[in-house]
Amino acid sequence: MSFQFTEEQIKRYSRHIILPEVGGKGQQKLLESKVLVIGAGGLGSPSLYYLAAAGVGTIGIVDFDVVDFSNLQRQILHNTERVGKPKVESAKMTLEALNPDVKVIAYNERIHKDNVIDIIKGFDIVLDGSDNFPTRFLVNDACYFLGKPLVSAAILRFEGQLTTFDYRNKENSPCYRCLFPEPPPPGLVPSCQEAGLLGVVGGIMGTLQANEALKLILGIGEPLVGKLLVFDALTTEFNVVKLRKDKKCPLCGEKPVIKELIEYDQACDIHF
């Protein structure tokens, strides 16, 4: 099979193309793929950067916030000159400057019950780098109903967590609610403003999110389905915990009670 790459594309993606597991066919898959990233912050920044560098053809970004000085310690898509600019605009500028092959679709809005399905349905894979539990649960449930793979990560202080839910195969994949059936009560989980965050942890976990997405697109390796990866920056240790489907899960269990989208109170917010 021949692929119609330009001379510039052959140079740009040469390190991919020479990999037997990727090759021209795999690079074509990347260029034809569509990935949505929720949040252009500490997790979304490295995820988006590496997805664009890899040549993922269409990248969606959802974020309603603006760039703040406090973001710059970890949110590498942005810079000092863009303080006050919407994050999706700043992210779009950075990604388009990195790789003109990539079509960037910016959603400068908050994800909510009335728009989440319409936003997600046009993408192949969703990466969740959101900063609050209501959004996490809403995105999870929407991906489950739509049958979209979801790569979910979280970071706080010196720790990161990552897992992949492959809702193309609901019978074998646990869901986010198997891990957390409901959002925690407000105030139970400290915010980044309260507990702090080592910025590089976002870089590590966000890059791993991009890695999961690339494996799913290319159909290579073993995505973290049914596994929770936990990273400790102070010991530089990675541990993997097995996740099993919960038969009593309210979403994907034997007798599900959640059959439509639920919008939780934003008082559950946490900030990464």
Indicate which CATH number applies to the domain containing 229. 3.40.50.720
CA distance 22 to 87: 32
Q: Residue range 201-205: average pLDDT?
A: 97
Q: Residue range 83-109: average pLDDT?
A: 98
Decide if pLDDT at 134 tops 70. yes
- Write down the pLDDT at residue 131: 84
Q: Residue range 192-206: average pLDDT?
A: 88
How are the residues of the chain apportioned to helix, strand and coil, as percentages rounded to the nearest 5?
35, 20, 45
Query: Is position 3 within any domain?
Result: no
Query: Is position 263 within any domain?
Result: no
**Average confidence score pLDDT of the chain:** 94
Q: Residue range 96-122: average pLDDT?
A: 97
The pLDDT confidence band at residue 269, using thresholds 50, 70 and 90, is very low
- Write down the pLDDT at residue 272: 31
- The type of residue at 257 is V
Query: Is position 7 within any domain?
Result: no
Query: Is position 52 within any domain?
Result: yes
Please give the model's pTM, rounded to 2 decimal places: 0.95
Q: Which domain holds residue 74?
A: 13-242
- Write down the pLDDT at residue 190: 63
Decide if pLDDT at 160 tops 90. yes
The answer to whether 160 touches 232, Cβ cutoff 8 Å, is no
Question: 227 CB contacts (<8 Å, ≥6 apart)?
Answer: 163, 240, 241, 242, 243
Query: Is position 70 within any domain?
Result: yes
- Write down the pLDDT at residue 167: 98
Element (H, E) at 35: strand 34-38
